Structure 1
């Protein structure tokens, strides 16, 4: 059963869209008296043209690889080479900030520049948190 989104609810959603994860948005909506599932929030964000990843988010190497259709060891290799800045979470896990990923895509190493250029720009925009599309009124 689908419940129509209230105008105030949509305003709240758009206000939070670029700063919070869908889970955080659900929690905040609930505190304001609106009850939505995480998947409902994700679907609505997608239909409004927002990324479901907030701008200030962090990624694991496997998340980046999955979105870029690469093997996770490829992204880990980029980190170990010093091409992609990341923090070590455990012995084999790294955490990459969105801004570091953005910097990497803006200025990739010469040896993999062609490979990076071949990646779908829409996927790159999604990963770095600037996927918001222009919407028609």
Structure 2
């Protein structure tokens, strides 16, 4: 149980980094070894990192869906969520919800997905349960 508590902040941080990953990248020209040609490398653009959640921020959460759970009841996971349908979607709320799901101790991976609907945004949490050894 102690190890699990140490890994939660790391996994939440990694999930947040994945959400902030750039969709596009800038090209940087660097000279190749001993040649006049150049090699193109990519570097992340901080402007695009900020825009990953931007289309959903401030919209009304219309539905929260949990997928991938087998042993843990969906109602138990939904009860742990801090945000509820009818509330505004915020980055802080998403972070709290991700932490709350990890704090249940049943999951080793969690990936949120967002779907824009006319009324607002649907949040889909794809969870992967910890393996159970008998």
After TM superposition, the score normalised by the length of structure 1 is 0.27
After TM superposition, the score normalised by the length of structure 2 is 0.27
Give 1 or 2: higher helix fraction.
Answer: 1
